[in-house]
A = this chain, B = another copy of it.
Amino acid sequence: MDHYTLLNFKDCVSKGGHLTPIEEQIDVPFQIKRVYYITGVAQAAERGCHAHKNLQQVLICLNGSISIRIKAPNKEEIVTLNNPSAGLYIGPLVWSELFDFTKGSVLLVVASEHYSANDYIADYNLYLTEAQAAFQEHQNTDP
């Protein structure tokens, strides 16, 4: 699994609208222990701005549009989510910043672990040190 990647979910369309199912270990590569959602965000606001040590998450925009700046060592990318059948998988030690929430936007996050304050890395320099060491080790052990 990449450190972060876009996932495409099934979109079950009928005259009754769209239904998108997300089953643990099938549509996302982990057991779902928690979900959370973010609503009512002003367009100028930023959220996120941290990484996690172990948590795996999938971010899905269910209404409107939300942009996510992803940072990993030697890599930076902006992903805009505006489609309920697309999810952004974010693994451990990937820094993310959420911005450009349109009016009425809804962000759903499906998460692999219960909430743990100890799992957060909110200092960017500390993040870079830990991520560079971990990604280097990961590269060295790849076949």
Is A3 at the interface (CB under 8 A from chain B)? no
- Copies of this chain assembled into the complex: 2
Q: Report whether A19 and B45 are in contact in the complex, using a CB–CB cutoff of 8 Å.
A: no
Name A35's closest neighbour in chain B (CB-CB): B22
Q: A122: which B residues are within 8 A, CB to CB?
A: none
Count residues of chain A with CB under 8 A from any CB of chain B. 36
Q: Report whether A38 and B17 are in contact in the complex, using a CB–CB cutoff of 8 Å.
A: yes
Given known contacts A33-B32, A47-B16, is B115 in contact with A23 (CB within 8 Å)? Answer: yes
Is A138 at the interface (CB under 8 A from chain B)? no
Q: Report whether A40 and B17 are in contact in the complex, using a CB–CB cutoff of 8 Å.
A: yes
Main secondary structure, interface of A, reads strand
- Bound Cα distance A20, B110 (Å): 12
Is A95 at the interface (CB under 8 A from chain B)? no
Name A38's closest neighbour in chain B (CB-CB): B19
Q: Report whether A36 and B22 are in contact in the complex, using a CB–CB cutoff of 8 Å.
A: yes
- Which residues of chain A (77-91) have a CB below 8 Å from chain B? 84
- Which residues of chain A (44-87) have a CB below 8 Å from chain B? 45-47, 60, 62-63, 84
Q: A45: which B residues are within 8 A, CB to CB?
A: 15-17
- Bound Cα distance A18, B101 (Å): 13
- Bound Cα distance A104, B103 (Å): 12
Given A22-B34, A35-B35, 6 more pairs with CB closer than 8 A: A17-B47, A18-B39, A32-B32, A35-B108, A62-B63, A63-B104
